[in-house]
Structure 1
Amino acid sequence: MAKDCSLDVVSDVDMQEVDNFIQQTVKEISQRFDFRGSRSTVTLEKDTIKILADDELKLKNVLDILQAKAIKRGVSIKTFDYGKIEGAAHGCVRQAVTIKKGISKEKAKDVIAAIKNSKLKVQTQIMEDQIRVSGKNKDDLQNVISLLKQQDFGLDLQFINFRS
């Protein structure tokens, strides 16, 4: 009997790293010359990063700092879902950036369609916010991993629980 191999495809974010890069962003904002006297702030509330800035230019600069710090900490900016820019008190602007976790049903269907179109001999199954891929041959699973890494689904995919 040949035993099945399996792996899980997930899209997850380490929230400790998110907290770390937000603290680094706040520190850099407090030290930069172009932010002297500014009311710009960055806060984390559950899965949402809230940014408040004096104007849209400062908001864009804060977002640039935030993205650079996220990349340095190993957090993909594909997990960011940018809200619209809103006006706030005293002429300030605010924006909410939601951190996406898990694979939505629509994205999961796109991922599964790409796997099926590759004609690899594997089975796929949607399990809440992740996808289980199983097959007889672990080489097929490794081919699935390389296939999914080559394509852009707008998600930061990780491959966990590889069992052979």
Structure 2
Amino acid sequence: MPSFDIVSNIDQHEITNAVDQANREITTRFDFKDTNARLELNKDKITMIAPTDFQLKQVDEILRNKLAKRQVDIRSLHYKDVSTSLNEAKQVIEVKQGIDAENAKKLTKLIKESGLKVQAAIQGDQVRVTGKKRDDLQAVIALLREAKVAIPLQFVNFRD
């Protein structure tokens, strides 16, 4: 029976490259001269550090531009609260990978409400869709691309 998997993965190497490029741009920009503004990457967390809240927003804009140029979906970033000390503002950004249980339930519900003759099953951090006809599976992919989903989706492991 034909099937495919719905996943939400981000290329970690592209994130590393985007952070490096953003750091390089921050060090060369005149408005960040003699400031300690920078980005730090630790596995699935990016920490933005800047002297003021305004400069923190500028660092965020630089990072977003670099990620967009490398085709990394911004919807996978989850911003935490800004913490400010005497002369430093910090913000942590979590890079989410995989489909959490709540979003997986929303996806399966959306697929079942579509009326297509397919089955959707949650398997860890991915959703497997199976059906008798290949056309039904392609209709599900089209449906999910049209739907407004809070996370980026990829369709992998398509089997006949």
Taking structure 1 as the reference length, what is the TM-score of the superposition? Answer: 0.96
Q: 2:24 aligns with which of 24, 27, 46?
A: 27
Give me the whole-angstrom Cα distance separating, in 2, the residues matched to 1:56 and 1:146.
41
Query: Hey, what does 1:47 align to over in structure 2?
Result: 44
Structure 1 runs, 4 residues or longer, greater than 6 Å off? none
What is the RMSD computed on CA atoms of the aligned residues? 0.7
Give me the whole-angstrom Cα distance separating, in 2, the residues matched to 1:152 and 1:30.
37
Give me the whole-angstrom Cα distance separating, in 1, the residues matched to 2:62 and 2:100.
28
- Deviation per CA, 1:97-139: give whole Å up to 9, x if none: 0000000000000011111111000001100000000001011
Q: 1:73 aligns with which of 70, 74, 82?
A: 70
Give me the whole-angstrom Cα distance separating, in 2, the residues matched to 1:129 and 1:18.
20
Query: Hey, what does 1:133 align to over in structure 2?
Result: 129
Match of 1:133, SS state, is strand
Give me the whole-angstrom Cα distance separating, in 2, the residues matched to 1:37 and 1:57.
16
Give me the whole-angstrom Cα distance separating, in 1, the residues matched to 2:12 and 2:89.
25
Indicate yes or no: 2:150 matched with 1:142: no
Query: Hey, what does 2:11 align to over in structure 1?
Result: 14
Taking structure 2 as the reference length, what is the TM-score of the superposition? Answer: 0.98
Indicate yes or no: 2:2 matched with 1:5: yes
How do residues 144-159 of structure 1 correspond to structure 2 at under 5 angstroms?
Answer: 144-159=140-155
Indicate yes or no: 2:34 matched with 1:37: yes
- Deviation per CA, 1:13-53: give whole Å up to 9, x if none: 10000000000000000111111111101010010001111
Give aligned pairs, total. Answer: 160
Q: 1:101 aligns with which of 94, 97, 118?
A: 97
Match of 1:102, SS state, is coil
Give me the whole-angstrom Cα distance separating, in 2, the residues matched to 1:152 and 1:100.
18
Aligned-partner residue type, residue 17 of structure 2: N
- Deviation per CA, 1:42-68: give whole Å up to 9, x if none: 010010001111111100000001001
Aligned-partner residue type, residue 75 of structure 2: K
